[in-house]
Chain A
């Protein structure tokens, strides 16, 4: 039972991570109509900037600032140089151009930092584990990630429901043309939304650094999962991103943790393990296909 609880927490923590990426991606999708495959690159760049800064200065705070700044600035540069020209294009052009961006950023990172993964230490304040229930210690750092994720979700909720920018965002996600027709400075709105998405992706990268290794390609691994989240949740819907992310995080973790054991009660050990590992990798994609077949616009469609 305690194992289930611990795995549930792991699933939530993965979900929170996915949410931070998915929130930006879904807004960019919803408001600008752009598929940005390079969103994962912002995640990677944030992680690298933070890792390098932490290694040089030893300060987690400075690393946080550097990571956010790098992701934010890079996001704006991408928007200004490439994506701006793609708003009016079809999805195919967007997919290809941002695919090109991925190749470019991955190789740039290799040229600058080499292929060796980098490692960041957990900030001293968050090291160690706390006992949630008797006999269930859980790493503090992972709890911090969950807390940050909840804060980000709350912040976004306030921003979207209580501010003027939020109103425009909601309006933009529902009917882009109408917002433009009403004379809103759509350029500024786009830049703000894109900057926000980049910051969140960078934040996710910074937080992931101390857990996993900071390495080239880390962006793409999580990018595809993030797309699954966005599509399950419904494109353009932040609420959908929250639920989609938690769903994907928990389902993926639970399948990985319990499916092989479950299969082993039915067949030979090694067969069960191989099959279980494969099925659990396929699980989230199966989930997405199911959701799309039942509700082609996702669970929480933003467009009425």
Chain B
């Protein structure tokens, strides 16, 4: 059933740009592209939060790091001076995106290695603390815009494609999403994934049967960070702008909401969650300036009364029909 739902989801997403009028005109393709990119970040967070039970309250840091990698490489590409005197700038998407994932992954490695020594509330707070440090780091880097952010005047180059065109950007995002979901699916089904799920359920038991829990958690943390970096790199290309706003703690909160809303611990639930949250925000914001007044209680109700999220809801419906 999971596979059918996943295929249906991707088929629907692939069809959206073909019928722009159904979804409210060509300008909304940008909105859908944003949903797709947030979906990548949400799926990556779900790997540690949903499967591994690691409540990271600083996931936006890796999103922002990915975005800033693209922005900084572009800035050096334009100015011609290498980064730190060593690394030349570039605007090739095939270089910037892997670089962004590498940077996010390295930060995740360092932060994860330290944070995973703690558990529970302390883990939530230390991931938040590290994310705040990265946030203030970029706020104080005036070379790269500081609080004002960094403009990426022209999107990166990929073959002969025009990345200024949002439909092209949309499909690039969709391909990236599909690839990352495929990776996560492979991980979850492997022995590694089963250990990860076991950690969430009972870490002590896993340790007792001789599994080095720390290393498993750290590897998952790094893969998740790289996923967020991928999302951030593409987002920098879509918006042609990065700012510390991308790594604010509220953004980390939003990513968590996407995961829970869609259904933590399900493969494609977070995709639905990202689409639903961004869509809900846009719809409410179009209707009233005080949209958060409504979003807040909606969130509370979801947490209190709809534990499996959208995916759990749909799954239970399908199960009932099947019987």
List the interface of chain A (C-beta within 8 A of B). Answer: 29, 35, 82, 85-86, 90-93, 95-97, 99-108, 110-111, 224, 227-228, 231, 235, 274-275, 277-279, 281-282, 285-286, 288-289, 292-293, 296-298
Contact = CB atoms under 8 A, between A and B. Distances in A.
Nearest to A287: B129
A285 B133 contact: yes
Contacts of A111: 290, 293
Nearest to A223: B249
B190 interface: no
A95 B140 CA distance: 28
Given A35-B124, A92-B256, A292-B122, A103 B140 contact: no
Contacts of B124: 35, 91, 95
Contacts of A297: 122
Contacts of B296: 100-105, 107
A107 B55 contact: no
B140 A277 contact: yes
A209 B130 CA distance: 30
Contacts of B290: 107, 110-111
Given A224-B132, A231-B126, 7 more contacts: A91-B120, A91-B121, A92-B260, A100-B296, A104-B293, A104-B296, A275-B140
B98 interface: no
A35 B121 contact: yes
Interface string B112-126: 001001101110111
A102 B253 CA distance: 11
Contact of A99 (B128, B130, B299, B304): B299
A288 B249 contact: no
Given A96-B257, A292-B122, A104 B292 contact: yes
A257 B264 CA distance: 45
B312 interface: no
B304 A288 contact: no
A274 B55 CA distance: 33
Contacts, number: 129
A281 to B, nearest CB: 4
B126 A292 contact: yes
A87 B256 CA distance: 20
A92 B122 contact: no
B57 A100 contact: no
15 contacts: A35-B124, A91-B124, A97-B303, A97-B304, A100-B296, A100-B298, A100-B300, A103-B292, A104-B296, A104-B297, A107-B293, A107-B296, A231-B125, A274-B146, A297-B122
Contacts of B114: 289, 293
Contacts of B137: 278, 282
A111 B298 CA distance: 18
B141 interface: yes
A293 B129 CA distance: 12
B186 interface: no
Contacts of B133: 282, 285-286, 289
Nearest to A110: B290
A281 B140 contact: yes
Contacts of A298: 122
Contacts of A103: 292-293, 295-296, 299
Nearest to A298: B122
Contacts of A105: 296
A96 B293 contact: no
Interface SS majority for chain A: helix
B49 interface: yes
B192 interface: no
Contacts of A86: 304
B139 interface: yes
B216 interface: no
Interface string B250-265: 0001001100100010
A100 B146 contact: no
A106 B146 contact: no
9 smallest beta-carbon distances between A and B, as pairs = A278-B140, A104-B296, A100-B299, A103-B296, A107-B293, A281-B136, A100-B300, A103-B292, A285-B129
B292 to A, nearest CB: 4
A44 B142 CA distance: 32
A292 B119 CA distance: 11
Given A103-B292, A285-B130, A292-B126, A96 B303 contact: yes
A174 to B, nearest CB: 16
A224 B128 contact: yes
Contacts of B260: 92-93, 96
B86 to A, nearest CB: 20
A85 B128 CA distance: 25
Contact of A227 (B125, B130, B304): B125
A278 B133 CA distance: 9
Contacts of A289: 114, 126, 129-130, 133
Nearest to B131: A285
A227 B58 CA distance: 14
Interface in B249-290: 249, 253, 256-257, 260, 264, 290
Contact of A92 (B49, B291, B300, B304): B49
A35 B132 CA distance: 19
B294 to A, nearest CB: 8
Contact of A296 (B118, B298, B304): B118
Nearest to A275: B140
Contacts of A90: 55
Contacts of B146: 274
Contacts of B57: 95
A35 B293 CA distance: 22
